[in-house]
């Protein structure tokens, strides 16, 4: 019954929306404009390989005299009782300096040129990214290479990073949005590494030897992927990198697969207290792997549900019509190694109507499973989604990073282009089937962060509530 009413309202809104341009009368409605077919020409991707076994890609770009180099090194989760190690390694390599480039000299040289060499990453990779003017390429590559091969891991820098991480943990509950995101991942993944976090104990447990071992285990050319873009030819970059990285030795690296997620989606309700005058809501369950053959249908389904900003149902219902929250939508994350999370969110939700926001979001999920989008909604979503892809091609360094990512995930390099063809052919029926299979309406976990004294009704009206005690250690 409720569903029918909703659709009725939607039809009226659509009718008004379609009628207004007639009232204005001066301009064509944007949807009536004719455009030539969007033609994306992809630049040539050149394979490069070095004497030491490091392989990757180059996209040339002579527009400005700049060269970008990324090297992705495959890594793995640390022991759970030393979680935080990977972050510490990346920071200490960059900020602790190397044999020929101790910290102060390194920073002075890079900032004077100027150029940048940064190291960042997550649990499964460390990414070294260098960027410089073409004239400084040899110098910057030699600095980058020394950091990769001969990091010093000075004790004082390790302690500095440890103290800074402990302070971040102390501050981790300052922002309500951070609490919601972090706690929800823990709810979904439970004891899987994707749900782990740094604590005072784990950060304190990391020793210098752990950093040295980590570097010795993973930092080898045969365990890395190279990406280069900018004002440089294949011959130039291969020559320069062969010289700079000639001492980088291969070694056998054995990286285990990411464990399967054992947690099973199940209906659950969670509450964390924070002294704020709004509610931060997360609703969802575990999602799919990115090599799932239905991933395109799932992406578009989510685009219509809550991923497509103002054209999506959740934004339309929660924000535009009811004015309950500023930031609302959904995300169907896909992960190449395990499964990604699905979640709808309503950040900064009116506290005394928070239960309405929960109900509306759940109704939209039901609507997607039972009614699904109209043909017109689907076509609009696909067009909008595909047209948006053009911006994935406007930066060569961005394209190279994407290729490095695909290679790292073990997916075909032409996945985005192949997916575009799949998207264009999607049918309403496929979307409905994807919703039916991949939206688990009766297995949703719900997390609310806020002050329950300000809520319109208790969260326990929905089901049994587990209270989360927020920690700052």
Cα–Cα distance list, 80 to 85, 194, 386, 395 (Å): 10, 11, 40, 38
Among residues 160, 182, 402, 443, which is the contact residue for another protein, using CB under 8 A?
A: 160
Closest approach, Cβ 410 to another protein, in A, equals 31
Closest approach, Cβ 388 to another protein, in A, equals 15
Q: Which is nearer to another protein, 270 or 319 (CB)?
A: 319
117-136 binders of another protein (CB under 8 A): 133
Among residues 20, 42, 309, 359, which is the contact residue for another protein, using CB under 8 A?
A: 20
- Count CB neighbours of 135 within 10 A: 11
DSSP letters spanning 424-438: HH--HHHHHHHHHHH
Q: Are strands 46-49 and 55-60 parallel, antiparallel or unpaired?
A: antiparallel
How far apart (Å, rounded) are the C-alpha atoms in residues 67 and 237? 10
Structure-token pair, residue 121: 């990453």
How far apart (Å, rounded) are the C-alpha atoms in residues 46 and 448? 49
333-372 binders of another protein (CB under 8 A): 347-350
Binding segment (CB under 8 A) for another protein, from list 20-28, 189-197, 255-263, 359-367? 20-28
Tell me how many residues contact another protein (CB under 8 A). Answer: 52
Find the helix packing angle between 415-425 and 295-302, rounded to 10°. Answer: 70
Binding segment (CB under 8 A) for another protein, from list 164-172, 380-388, 427-435, 440-448? 164-172
Closest approach, Cβ 167 to another protein, in A, equals 4
Stated as kind and residue range, the H or E segment containing 230 is strand 224-230
- Where does residue 427 rank: exposed (0-12), middle (13-18), buried (19+ CB within 10 A)? exposed
312 binds another protein (CB under 8 A): no
Among residues 9, 79, 326, 458, which is the contact residue for another protein, using CB under 8 A?
A: 326
Residue 124 in contact with residue 161, Cβ under 8 Å? no
167 binds another protein (CB under 8 A): yes
Binding segment (CB under 8 A) for another protein, from list 110-118, 298-306, 375-383, 413-421? 110-118
Q: Is the peptide bond before 43 cis (omega within 30 degrees of 0)?
A: no
Tokens 């919703």: give the residue: 435
151 binds another protein (CB under 8 A): no
64 binds another protein (CB under 8 A): yes
Structure-token pair, residue 224: 């890395």
How far apart (Å, rounded) are the C-alpha atoms in residues 29 and 17? 10
Q: Which is nearer to another protein, 116 or 466 (CB)?
A: 116
Q: Which is nearer to another protein, 301 or 351 (CB)?
A: 351
163 binds another protein (CB under 8 A): yes
Among residues 142, 200, 268, 327, which is the contact residue for another protein, using CB under 8 A?
A: 327
75-104 binders of another protein (CB under 8 A): 95
Closest approach, Cβ 139 to another protein, in A, equals 13
Q: Which is nearer to another protein, 16 or 418 (CB)?
A: 16
Closest approach, Cβ 306 to another protein, in A, equals 16
- Nearest-CA neighbor of 89 among 63, 123, 134, 39? 123
CA 190 to chain centre: 19
Residues 6+ positions from 416 with CB-CB distance below 8 Å: 389, 392, 402
The binding site for another protein (CB under 8 A) comprises 16, 20, 24, 26-28, 30, 33, 63-66, 95, 107-108, 111-115, 133, 160, 163-165, 167-168, 170-171, 174-176, 274-278, 319-327, 347-350, 394-395
């Amino acid at each position: 019954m409720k569903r029918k009413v909703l659709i009725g309202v939607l039809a009226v809104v659509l009718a008004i929306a379609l009628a207004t341009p007639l009232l204005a009368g001066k301009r064509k409605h944007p949807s009536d404009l004719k455009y030539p077919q969007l033609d994306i020409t992809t630049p040539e991707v050149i394979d490069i390989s070095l004497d030491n076994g490091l392989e990757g890609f180059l996209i040339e770009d002579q527009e400005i005299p700049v060269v970008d180099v990324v090297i992705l090194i495959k890594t793995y989760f640390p022991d759970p009782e030393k979680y935080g190690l990977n972050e510490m390694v990346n920071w200490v390599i960059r900020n602790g300096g190397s044999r020929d480039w101790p910290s102060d000299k390194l920073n002075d040289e890079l900032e004077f040129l100027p150029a940048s060499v940064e190291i960042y990453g997550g649990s499964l990779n460390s990414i070294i990214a260098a960027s410089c003017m073409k004239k400084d390429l040899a110098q910057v590559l030699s600095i980058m290479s020394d950091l990769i091969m001969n990091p010093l891991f000075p004790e004082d820098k390790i302690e500095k990073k440890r103290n800074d991480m402990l302070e971040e943990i102390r501050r981790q509950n300052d922002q309500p949005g951070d609490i919601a995101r972090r706690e929800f991942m823990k709810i979904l993944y439970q004891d899987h590494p994707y749900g782990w976090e740094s604590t005072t104990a784990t950060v304190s447990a990391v020793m210098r030897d752990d950093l040295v071992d980590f570097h010795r285990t993973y930092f080898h050319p045969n365990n890395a992927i190279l990406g280069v873009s900018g004002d440089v030819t294949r011959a130039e970059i291969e020559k320069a990198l062969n010289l700079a990285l000639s001492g980088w030795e291969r070694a056998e690296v054995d990286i285990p697969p990411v464990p399967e997620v054992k947690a099973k989606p199940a209906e659950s309700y969670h509450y964390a207290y924070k002294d704020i005058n709004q509610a931060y809501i997360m609703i969802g369950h575990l999602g799919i792997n990115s090599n799932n053959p239905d991933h395109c249908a799932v992406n578009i389904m989510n685009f219509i549900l809550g991923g497509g900003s103002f054209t999506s149902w959740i934004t339309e219902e929660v924000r535009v019509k009811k004015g309950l929250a500023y930031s609302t939508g959904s995300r169907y994350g896909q992960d190449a190694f395990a499964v990604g999370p699905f979640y709808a969110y309503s950040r900064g939700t009116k506290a005394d109507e928070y239960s309405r926001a929960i109900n509306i979001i759940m109704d939209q999920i039901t609507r997607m499973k039972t009614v699904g989008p109209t043909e017109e909604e689907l076509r609009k979503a696909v067009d909008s989604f595909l047209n948006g892809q053009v911006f994935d091609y406007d930066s060569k360094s961005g394209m190279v990073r994407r290729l490095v990512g695909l290679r790292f995930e073990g997916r075909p390099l032409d996945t985005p282009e192949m997916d575009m063809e799949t998207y264009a052919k999607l049918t309403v029926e496929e979307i409905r089937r994807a919703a039916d299979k991949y939206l688990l309406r009766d297995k949703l976990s719900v997390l609310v962060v806020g002050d329950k004294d300000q809520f319109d009704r208790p969260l326990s009206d929905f089901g049994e509530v587990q209270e989360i005690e927020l920690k700052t250690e």
